[in-house]
Structure 1
Amino acid sequence: MSQNRVGRPPQAGISDALISAAESVMTSQGYSALTVDALVTVVGTTRPTFYRRYPSVAHLALEVIIDRFGTGLEVDNGNLIDDLIELQRAEVEMFRSDLMRRNLPGLLESIRLHADVAESYFGRFIAPRRENVLRVLELARARGEVRESRDDDELACDLLLGPVLARAIVPTGVGLDDALAVNTARAVVHHLAAQQSRTA
């Protein structure tokens, strides 16, 4: 007895093709050029097929960023400063990329407009990176490099991200370079050491 199937069968590889097409547009032209019509034309699919996978181009753009940059690094060089420098170098390199430079303002606006995009952006992209920092702080505690209190842990994450993000989105005339990665890592270590000396 034959069975009637409702709807079209899933098209294998469409999601990957859309991610690839979106990354190409985002890298070469930027977020403002990312449209559903252009993407489905390039991929050879339809708008309904797109919307079955992504509620908007903002959701697809986030998938592109996560697909490209993942959740950051897990490092353990045996000391805090080297761990933080390695993490910061990777973040600086990410923010220097064409993919981030040409899309960051649009991505931040989409986060402001779409609560579900903001939730996904934090949970899948930002939170894992902060966890990487918290992990190296825990390793430093185990080695006796920093105090047991975790009161400044979230601030340490902010001190690392803030200057990099500022230079990425504000035309300060000062670029994203290795010195920024090293100096922000050193600033965090200095802050933690200062806090430790105050409470000793």
Structure 2
Amino acid sequence: MTDPRLTSARESSGRPLDAGVSQAIIDSVVDITLAHGLREVTISSVVTAAKTTRPAFYRRFKSLDEMLLFVVNSRATSFNASDHGSLEEDLYAVQLVSVERLNDRFLRAVLPYLAYRGMSDGSCMPLLNREFIGPFRDTVRSALERAVDRGEISQLPNLSEVCNVLSGMLVPDALCSEGSRDLTERDARRSAQVAALAARLGPSDG
């Protein structure tokens, strides 16, 4: 795997990364998580299952958290900022990707841990923003800016409020330990409709 996120400073040795080893690490993380739970995922267990070494791991990832975020994103469709003709359709496209991600069993196992780490460990938050939260917010921002340009809304609403509506209508149903379920296109559509309505309200007074 030659994803640029696996390079940067870790290329200082001058040797190219072995794509087969990278894929073995990723596959091992997923297999261990789905078979035994995230608590069994350690650097030692991963390199053993992948038949590789700790130095090989650290050439690719700085930490376990960075590895988990990379694997999450490697398994999911990227957010697409294309113009779909209207605010609702743009947000619907965002939510279809969110539904796909949240239906992934690996992500469901990992996301609560990553959210906890983001709140409790300041060093993890830049990774969450770069790899997971940032692309989502950037795509929603682009959709809102296009809506202003089209004249659908008179001014940019509060980005965080719109994002909270979009995520808040999906995440509880996907991740609650009691009553969690697979999300559907209907969930994507309904959340996009509600978020579009919220955007038309404009920025809150707060």
Q: Scaled by the length of structure 2, what TM-score is found?
A: 0.78
Shift of 1:195: 3.9
1:105 aligns with 2:112: yes
Task: Provide, for residues 71-92 of structure 1, a one-character-per-residue CA deviation record: whole Å limited to 9, x for no partner.
Answer: 4122311111111112112201
User: 1:88 touches 1:182 (CA, 8 Å); kept in 2?
Assistant: yes
Structure 1 residues 38-57: aligned runs within 5 Å = 38-57=45-64
- Partner residue of 2:145? 138
Runs (5+) with no aligned partner, structure 2: 1-12
Partner of 2:188: 181
Does the 8 Å contact 2:80/2:94 carry over to 1? yes
Change (3 A) 1:164 1:70: same
RMSD value over aligned CA atoms? 2.8
Structure 1 unpaired stretches of 5+: 1-6
User: Deviation per CA, 1:16-68, whole angstroms, max 9, x where unpaired?
Assistant: 33123213333444322212222111222223432343343222111111222
Q: Percent identity?
A: 27
Larger RCO, structure (CA 8 Å, separation 6 or more): 1
Residue deviations 1:82-111, cap 9 Å, x none? Answer: 111121122012101112122222222333
Q: Give 1 or 2 for the bigger CA radius of gyration.
A: 1
Pair 1:17 & 2:41 matched: no
Flag the 1:25–1:174 CA change in 2: closer, same or farther, 3 A: closer
Question: 1:1-200, aligned counterparts within 5 Å?
Answer: 12-13=18-19, 14-69=21-76, 71-147=78-154, 149-171=155-177, 173=179, 175=181, 176-195=183-202
